[in-house]
Amino acid sequence: MSMLTKIQLDKLTGIRKTLHANPEVSEQEFETQKRILDFLASECSASVENIGKTGVLATFESKQSGPTIMIRGDIDALPIAETNTFEHKSTSAGVSHKCGHDGHTTILLGLAKLLTEQKIARGKVLLLFQPAEENGMGAEAVLNDAIFPKDGIDYVFALHNLPGYSTHEVVVKEDEFTGNVKSIIIKLTGKTAHAAEPEQGVNPSMAISEIFRYAERITHNKPEEQDFFLMTPIFATLGDLAYGISAGYGEVHFTIRSWDTDLMTQRSNEILAFVEGICQKHKLQLETSWTQVFHANVNHSEAVDFIRQAAKTNEFLMIEREYPFRWGEDFGLFTQHFKGAMFGIGAGTSSPALHNPDYDFPDEITETGIRMFYQIIQQIL
């Protein structure tokens, strides 16, 4: 199978570094969207539409009817200050590509180039450049967009680069690939009083301490077990820096994680019931809300077989992962609706971890990603 030339790959590396130097956070990817559109207009034969406000959907359609495959790449960056000093370092203060979405975007651009040069014989391929993965809003925005073909998709695929694994190694897993993740905000309103007479007010401090102990109690941080459940304290505040005042307001935020979707629902309800009980006991007013909801990526066995076969055909080293990754991934919403799977590509054993301030996507795996996606498409179509 003839692939992209060295000149084309070098050009893609240049694009990746431009994306890295110009990162944009979730729902603000306007310049990134423009760069994607410019490349597709000048280099590719796809029909192209904006989707989910700041995303792009590129469609390659053959003359023959056949399956429709969607390949997704995420495009947003993170609110993390970069510590790297190389030439393509972030030019946006406090924002950088620390999850490698600049690389994922580039892989899809390379795939678009390849699909332009080596046209599909039947069916249809959709390349989704998805915004707002990091805050869990992007997949939903795409699914709710009127132009998104909700009924006509047979398979969906995505990849993620994985520091800690050997470069080019393909990481596969059936069933859950990433877990369910969501965050809860708990606001507790009591009544301020003089610090000398705390009994005249309602201080949320004891309720907060009981909630922390409860979080510790229900956590089962054993990722190798199916009933894995993690409740991590993220943020807390109580009262004000005024030493004569007994606090009358407090707030605690947690992120919760599980492999099992039913367990996630069960624990969510239990947490709400516990917090309500605590507030009644301490005579506090309660306000709760959920945010940044990520559904588990449930990999379909048939889709995973296509990934395994593609790795074998490309002669890439392959590893079967024992249990899911603990981080949330917005692609999970697509695997809840369509047959599909996410897989990993090793970013190197010495690569800084994802979301670390010194992380940078390794350009040598761009071609690995393109070859994997292209081979999966060839097998299905």
SS3 of the chain: CCCCCHHHHHHHHHHHHHHHHCCCECCCCHHHHHHHHHHHHHHCCCEEEEECCCEEEEEEECCEEEEEEEEEEECCEECCCCCCCCCCCCCCCCCECCCCHHHHHHHHHHHHHHHHHCCCCEEEEEEEEECCCCCCCHHHHHHCCCCCCCCCCCEEEEEEEECCCCCCCEEECCEEEECEEEEEEEEEECECEECCCHHHCECCHHHHHHHHHHHHHHCECCCCCCCCEEEEEEEEEECCCCCCEECCEEEEEEEEEECCHHHHHHHHHHHHHHHHHHHHHCCCEEEEEEEEEECCEEECHHHHHHHHHHHHHCCCCEEECCCCECCCCCCHHHHHHCCEEEEEEECCCCCCCCCCCCCCCCHHHHHHHHHHHHHHHHHHC
**Domains of the chain by residue range:** 6-178+296-380, 180-293
User: Where does residue 197 rank: exposed (0-12), middle (13-18), buried (19+ CB within 10 A)?
Assistant: exposed
Residue 249 confidence (pLDDT) above 60: yes
4 pLDDT more than 80: yes
Q: Please state which of the four CATH numbers 3.40.50.11610, 3.30.365.10, 3.40.630.10, 3.40.630.30 is assigned to the domain occupying 6-178+296-380.
A: 3.40.630.10
What would the pLDDT profile of 304-338 be if each residue is shown by its tens digit? 999 999 999 999 999 999 999 999 999 999 999 99
pLDDT, residue 48, reads: 98
Fold of 180-293: Alpha-Beta Plaits (3.30.70)
Name the band, by pLDDT with cuts 50, 70 and 90, for residue 348: very high
Query: Can you give the pLDDT at residue 3?
Result: 84
Whether 2 has a pLDDT exceeding 70, the answer reads no
CB 224 within 8 A of CB 265: no
Share of the chain above pLDDT 90, in %: 98
Residue among 169, 352, 184, 344 at smallest CA distance from 254:
184
Q: Do domains 6-178+296-380 and 180-293 have the same CATH topology?
A: no
In this prediction, residue 174 carries a pLDDT of 97
So what's the pLDDT on residue 87? 98
Compute the average pLDDT of residues 204-231: 98
Give CA–CA dist 339/361, Å, rounded: 28
Averaged pLDDT of the chain:
97
User: Mean pLDDT across the stretch 232-240?
Assistant: 98
Task: Give the integer Cα–Cα distance in Å for 377 and 367.
Answer: 15
The confidence score (pLDDT) of residue 373 equals: 98
What is the spatial distance between Cα 37 and Cα 310, in angstroms, rounded to a whole number?
Answer: 28
Over the stretch 117-151, which tens digit does the pLDDT of each residue have?
999 999 999 999 999 999 999 999 999 999 999 88
Q: Which two tokens stand for residue 354?
A: 């994802």
Over residues 157-193, the pLDDT tens digits come to: 999 999 999 999 999 999 999 999 999 999 999 999 9
Query: Are 254 and 235 in contact, with CB atoms under 8 Å apart?
Result: no
